[in-house]
């Protein structure tokens, strides 16, 4: 975890470790998503559909879809 300070101009400087982890350089674009009082920062994707698909792949276990389909067959 890193602590940053908000300047008088409402700006922050990202620590090197964060810039490296996000793979951004000066002039790079970031997206900040807020969830209540929490902010999530990520690098702006070049292709949104690909980025969303990649995030969705890791959301569920690999056998999730098959288990869902099996549950539909049992309920009928």
pLDDT single digits (tens) 13-26: 999 999 999 999 99
33: in domain:
yes
51: in domain:
yes
Q: Is 34 helix (H, G, I), strand (E, B) or coil?
A: strand
Number of domains composing the chain: 1
Higher pLDDT, residue 2 or 60: 2
Asked if the model's pLDDT at residue 41 lies above 60, the reply is: yes
8: in domain:
no
Question: What residues make up the domain containing 30?
Answer: 16-75
Write out the two tokens for 68. Answer: 């869902």
61: in domain:
yes
For the chain, give the percent of residues with pLDDT over 90.
Answer: 37
Whether this model's pTM surpasses 0.75: no
60: in domain:
yes
5: in domain:
no
71: in domain:
yes
Q: Could you give the CA distance from residue 76 to residue 72 in angstroms, rounded to a whole number? A: 7
Q: Could you give the CA distance from residue 2 to residue 42 in angstroms, rounded to a whole number? A: 15
7: in domain:
no
Average pLDDT, the chain: 85
């Amino acid at each position: 975890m890193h602590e940053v300070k908000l300047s008088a101009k409402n700006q922050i400087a990202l620590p090197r470790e964060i810039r490296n982890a996000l793979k951004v350089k000066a002039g790079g674009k970031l997206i900040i998503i807020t969830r209540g009082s929490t902010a999530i920062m990520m690098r702006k994707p070049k292709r949104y559909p690909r980025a969303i698909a990649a995030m969705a792949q890791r959301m569920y276990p690999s056998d999730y879809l098959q288990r869902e389909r099996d549950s539909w067959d049992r309920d009928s």
